[in-house]
Structure 1
Amino acid sequence: MKQEHDNLRAAMQGAVEQGQDRQRKDIAWRLAGALRSFWIDYGYVHEGQQFVERALGKREGITASVRAKALHAAGWLALVRGDFRRAEALCQESLALSRELHDPREMASVLTLLGWNALWLGDAPLATSLLEESLALSRGAGDKVRLAYTLLPLALTILTHGDHSDSPRVRSLLEESLLLLREEHVQSGMAHALYDLGLWHFQQGNAATARSLFEESFALLRALGQRLWAVQPLYRLGKVAAQVGDLPAAYAFYKQSLALFQELDDQQSSATCLEGWASVVARQGHAAWAAQLWGAAEARRAAGGPSYLPQILALTLPGERADEERMRAWVCAQLGEQAFAQALAEGRAMTPEQALAAGQHTMLASPPNAPAGADRPQGPSPAYPNELTEREVEVLRLVARGLSDAQVAETLVISPRTVNAHLRSIYSKLGINSRHAATLFAIKQQLI
């Protein structure tokens, strides 16, 4: 279909420009309903929304079923561009038509979209209610694909707004979705399920498993040519690499992600990418570079425009936003308010590419996991109880989740001997001598 894009554009233009003709209007509405996945998956969201909005302005004589599907598609396009209120209005109109038509499959699809919209607006109870209703309809209709696609936002709602006790259910929902999509051979859906399962493992501290899932998701999406979605696992691969200390790989992933966002003219997600790398840089002690990156991010946000990937902005995993704010406060304290403001101003004057490259040679000169030298100050550590270090808390969290020393070592990309040394230090600081006591401490301190 991409190869015939020019011909398709011509047909679309003819349908809307000669839309007073009933047949032309009908064609325009049917195209609006049919091309939603093409526009979104291949990065033509703005073009699609422009066409759909023009088509929707000419409704007379269009059947209810055609209107329902086109309004549903228009809702998706509005949602992906971050226009959540418009998306909700379009979806509610589509849902009303689908109920009148007694079409459970279309109702389920629209309810899923409304669930996504509620999730991105931060209304987890509403999202859960809408998605549960959609699941019931899909199960009743025996529609495995719609069921699988609805399990994903339900799992993400719980992942981002639930607590640790919900973790097993999140994994179960994601694995059920992936199984259904594999059975139905839906590659695009499989890629999304793999990505979401990677998010779960990343939150659990399973860096190696998360990386593998993100890599598989990215490979599928790249093979399908779906650049809008492929940037999701690419961005997260950068976070995984940074977490395990592979800074050259992390930088490469962030750089590729930023290039894709810029190609899509998505300034909001470009800002998110710059902010993410700023936190990595700050943790390595490069305060001035971090401030420049935040300044460049501020300029991107001030430029306005929609985000074509609200998942990255809205689906921030618990703790990530607080970590960024803590790092920013530390950088400001390190530089002093005047120097911090100066560095922010310098960043605002840079292009995103210039900001990302500003300090790469200095920071990336050290090998992965190399200790900071005397000339490179360490980033701040959180105020953890009993003077635990950040690495000790990482080890403690994984041990409390039942991982063996070998599994902790694999996850953190360190040796089992190093894990054992961290545990001895943890036991000493806490005055305990068992994994059970360590787990109780972690729970009491809400570290897991």
Structure 2
Amino acid sequence: MTAVITSTSRGRQMGRLPAEVTSFVGRRHEVAEVKQLLSASRAVTLTGVGGVGKTRLALRVGHEVRRAFRDGVWLVELAALQCPDLLAQVVAEALEIRGRTAGAPMTVLTEHLRDKQALVILDNCEHLVGECAVLAETLLRAAGEVRILATSRQAMGLVGEQVVPVPTLSLPECPEWDVPRPWLGAPVRGDPGEAVRLFAERARAVLPAFAVTEDNREVVAGIVRRLDGLPLGIELAAVRLRALSAQQLLDRLENRFRLLTGGSRAVLPRHQTLRALIDWSYTLCSDKERLLWERASVFAGGLDLEAAEAVCSGAGIAREDVVDLVIGLVDKSVLLREDHRDGVRYRILETLREYGRERLLASGQEDRLRRRHAGYYRELAARARAELFGPGQVAWLTRLQVEHANLRTALNTFSAAPSGAETCLSMATDLLYHWITSYYLGEGRGWLERGLAAGEATGEEVRARALWAGGWLAIIQADIPAATALLRESRRLGERLGDESVLGYVALFSGMTAMWDGRAGEAIERYEEALPRHRGTGDPIGLSLALVRLSLAHSFLGESSAAVAAGEESLAISDAYGEGWHRAYTMMALGVEVWRQGDLARAAELESQSLAFNRSMGDWQGVGITVEVLAWIAASGRQCQRAARLLGIAQNVWSSLGAAMSGFGHLTRYHDECAALCRETLGEAGFAAAVRRGGRLPCDEALAYALQEDIPGRDGNGQGEAAPLTRREREIAALVARGMTNREIAASLVIAQRTAECHIEHILTKLGFSSRAQIAVWVGERARQAESGGEEPGGERRDSRNRLGG
């Protein structure tokens, strides 16, 4: 495996790692050691005290080795997870396995990773060390090319596990530094050590003019020594330079540690050193800031100002004072400010959150604050549901995704309360669109099943609504028997209650189960039963959903005018409310019918608009079905190379969802006809190669290809202009045109043969070609253009159109 760490992957997905927002200081030895161990071992655990930088080290290693893992490097953050039973589900969500199969999360996870070459970073395992060990061992046994990098305060105890104790940052070896360090300001002598470099970097973020000089170097060295080179301690201390001089800071560190330790710090565990630091930071806060710190510890995954005001105010904190207290805690680095698409949020480091939680528990206020937290997010879920069908839809769904950890914590609070089952079930039902449009469908179904299992502890109205919601999730997961059973019970309760809304949704989703089984006539009857019920209750969501499905059903039976009429009515409803999600699915349905009528350009336009919206929402069910339809349209236009690649892209989407044609199984015949036509046109080998190339495209590139965003021009064969080749790719293309083999190209350029092969694959993908001969023709055409003045110096075409048909 040693070679793997230095290889270059052509994988389709590089995973999800957060960007580094501050400089990474030091750790060269540790980074190299962890990379080497990952080459030889499949499980590596970084251990050490809280605040020592285990997570940061793991992320840096992940960034440096990501090209060695074909299927990506994935971060799984476990700090906010309180329920061990959700561990496998959380890992699946972090890997963007959308959980749309009905299987157990661990089964879904192992099946997904079985043939993957990926690195999974399990971060903050210490509170779930036993469960993480079982999960890691299960994954390693099931997936031979998966590696795990874990961070924990203790080793997991896996067979073959390599444990790397993460030390504190290196300290100045002696007072004399004789090597110039211009980045620190004035030249100083000697190696300052990693701890000093970190302090200088963070201090300069607070005071841009700060520098380590001859005058203050001893004071700085004293500060980092007092903090034992602990990164978190250094960063918290550097913030105090806003108000203190370096000498004042050192003086207070000295006094504070003497007070807290009562003796030599050398005999105390490093954890006690961290606690002393946090105690010191705590005492520097005002009484109200300390109170807010404690109360903020009930949040998971961060909070915004509105949540802080709602949950943390009262009993000593006026609501209007919360904003100033938040600013104070941000200044003291207790809360970290983060910019999100929906606004500013605040994150509290897990070590500080745990400290605040202990203080809150000691005060006897934890239960009260947890109830307030749960109540706030219960109301948030209800507001999101009430305002879902309208111009604020995208903002609400985005906000729910950001707040997912808090929503989960609130559901857990209600679930654990003796009389909270009904509230938990109602909240889980309100979050229905959150489960569907994000990575959490499997978890959402789990919450509904847990609440429904409470039986008589939940009221009939709440239960009836949860049953049809669970039925929809089961349909998306292709679990039709479960969906049928849930809808049957929901209908029984709806009839008993005389609830038209419940009966409308039961009819709607019963129509979907009928379509799944190919009973289109029966499905139309159910949809037409649902329409007057939703009109009668004034429910635009149910009405729009029923019309979309009615349009698809009529189209399936060849009833074009009825299909278009239903689709146009659905569009009118969405437009009247300024709504986007149902509108996107309506355009998809209309695109299918317009394609069947032979208007390929209009059909492609409808599907592309739908795909663009679904991409922005991260709705992969919508992405999958629109890419599928675009493939059918391309095949109908005899663009079989493009169609096959789109099928490869769609195949990846369906694989990640765990269900082919998720929710649209009745359209499978169109997929089969498209694949058959492409095989006939391209040949079996050519078809397989094109599908493979589509499947190898990274996610962003794949969707850009589907939307033809990198194809500003078209030629007579409908092939788009190729994305520009890099300088190296143009060089390799020229060697291909000379008839050189991959081995000869590698030897000529002094690169690995595998690297040459990767470059050629990229060239074929960018140009839309399936053979090396096409590359040779393309190179010749470019040479002729250059001779006739059609190419700019440096090899870029003036002509925006690719004249070759691919």
Q: Is the 8 A contact 1:221 1:229 kept in 2?
A: yes
Give the one of 56, 66, 84 matched to 2:423.
66
Amino acid at match of 1:321: T
- Which residue is equivalent to 2:647? 294
Give the one of 430, 439, 451 matched to 1:94.
451
For residues 50-84 of structure 1, what are the alpha-carbon distances to aligned partners after superposition, in whole Å with 9 as ceiling and x for unaligned? Answer: 43113234346684243332233356533443644
Task: Call closer, same or farther: CA 1:341–1:147 in 2, change over 3 Å.
Answer: closer
Distance 2:583 2:405 in 1: 24
Distance 2:570 2:578 in 1: 12
Superposition deviation, residue 113 in structure 1: 1.5
Amino acid at match of 1:236: A
Task: Call closer, same or farther: CA 1:301–1:89 in 2, change over 3 Å.
Answer: closer
For residues 189-231 of structure 1, what are the alpha-carbon distances to aligned partners after superposition, in whole Å with 9 as ceiling and x for unaligned? Answer: 2222222222221122111211121121122123323322221
- Which residue is equivalent to 1:354? 705
Instruction: Find out whether 1:53 has 2:408 as its counterpart.
Output: yes
Identity across aligned pairs (percent)?
A: 24
Give the one of 504, 529, 542 matched to 1:148.
504
Amino acid at match of 1:138: G
Distance 2:510 2:620 in 1: 28
Distance 2:661 2:472 in 1: 13
Q: Is the 8 A contact 1:238 1:251 kept in 2?
A: yes
- Which residue is equivalent to 2:797? none
Give the one of 202, 210, 224 matched to 2:555.
202
Superposition deviation, residue 118 in structure 1: 2.5
Q: Secondary structure at the match of 1:28?
A: helix
Distance 1:213 1:62 in 2: 47
Distance 1:337 1:173 in 2: 42
Amino acid at match of 1:221: S
Task: Call closer, same or farther: CA 1:295–1:155 in 2, change over 3 Å.
Answer: closer
Distance 2:431 2:515 in 1: 28
How many residue pairs get matched?
A: 348
Q: Secondary structure at the match of 1:336?
A: helix
Amino acid at match of 2:705: Q
Instruction: Find out whether 1:239 has 2:592 as its counterpart.
Output: yes
Distance 1:17 1:54 in 2: 16
- Which residue is equivalent to 2:607? 254
Give the one of 2, 5, 11 matched to 2:306.
11
Distance 2:403 2:652 in 1: 27
Distance 1:113 1:207 in 2: 30
Q: Indicate the larger mover: 37-46 or 129-138.
A: 37-46
Task: Call closer, same or farther: CA 1:343–1:264 in 2, change over 3 Å.
Answer: same
- Which residue is equivalent to 1:328? 675
Instruction: Find out whether 1:269 has 2:622 as its counterpart.
Output: yes
Superposition deviation, residue 325 in structure 1: 2.9
Q: Secondary structure at the match of 1:314?
A: coil
- Which residue is equivalent to 1:120? 476
Task: Call closer, same or farther: CA 1:132–1:268 in 2, change over 3 Å.
Answer: closer
Task: Call closer, same or farther: CA 1:223–1:62 in 2, change over 3 Å.
Answer: farther
Amino acid at match of 1:94: G
Q: Secondary structure at the match of 2:413?
A: coil
- Which residue is equivalent to 2:570? 217
Amino acid at match of 2:524: R
Structure number with the higher strand fraction is 2
Q: Is the 8 A contact 2:647 2:691 kept in 1?
A: yes
For CA contacts below 8 A with separation 6 or more, give which structure has more relative contact order: 1
Task: Call closer, same or farther: CA 1:127–1:298 in 2, change over 3 Å.
Answer: closer
Distance 1:58 1:354 in 2: 45
Instruction: Find out whether 1:186 has 2:501 as its counterpart.
Output: no
Q: Is the 8 A contact 2:374 2:411 kept in 1?
A: no
Q: Is the 8 A contact 2:374 2:409 kept in 1?
A: no
After TM superposition, the structure 1 = structure 2 runs for residues 127-142 of structure 1, keeping only pairs within 5 Å, are: 127-142=483-498
Q: Which runs of 5+ in 2 are unaligned?
A: 1-302, 314-365, 720-806
Distance 2:419 2:706 in 1: 52
Q: Which runs of 5+ in 1 are unaligned?
A: 1-7, 366-448
Distance 1:336 1:17 in 2: 66
Amino acid at match of 2:543: M
Amino acid at match of 2:634: V
- Which residue is equivalent to 2:192? none
Distance 2:479 2:649 in 1: 30
Task: Call closer, same or farther: CA 1:135–1:355 in 2, change over 3 Å.
Answer: closer
Q: TM-score, normalised by structure 2?
A: 0.39
For residues 155-200 of structure 1, what are the alpha-carbon distances to aligned partners after superposition, in whole Å with 9 as ceiling and x for unaligned? Answer: 1111221536xx2x43332222111222222223222222222222
Runs of 4+ in structure 1 deviating by more than 6 angstroms, as ranges, are: 16-19
Distance 2:646 2:591 in 1: 16
Q: Is the 8 A contact 1:36 1:76 kept in 2?
A: no
Q: Secondary structure at the match of 2:564?
A: helix
Q: Secondary structure at the match of 2:538?
A: coil
For residues 253-311 of structure 1, what are the alpha-carbon distances to aligned partners after superposition, in whole Å with 9 as ceiling and x for unaligned? Answer: 01111211221133553243222211221123222221232344456668x5x79xx9x
- Which residue is equivalent to 2:438? 81
Q: Is the 8 A contact 1:275 1:293 kept in 2?
A: yes
- Which residue is equivalent to 1:431? none
Q: Is the 8 A contact 2:501 2:534 kept in 1?
A: yes
Distance 1:267 1:122 in 2: 15
Q: Secondary structure at the match of 1:213?
A: helix
- Which residue is equivalent to 2:227? none
Amino acid at match of 1:220: I
Distance 2:436 2:478 in 1: 14
- Which residue is equivalent to 2:59? none
Q: Secondary structure at the match of 1:188?
A: helix
Structure number with the higher helix fraction is 1
Q: Secondary structure at the match of 2:589?
A: helix
CA RMSD between the two structures: 3.3
Task: Call closer, same or farther: CA 1:247–1:360 in 2, change over 3 Å.
Answer: farther
Q: Indicate the larger mover: 202-211 or 50-59.
A: 50-59
Q: Is the 8 A contact 2:591 2:602 kept in 1?
A: yes
Q: TM-score, normalised by structure 1?
A: 0.67
Q: Indicate the larger mover: 253-262 or 219-228.
A: 219-228
Amino acid at match of 1:109: R
Superposition deviation, residue 124 in structure 1: 2.5
Q: Is the 8 A contact 2:438 2:618 kept in 1?
A: no
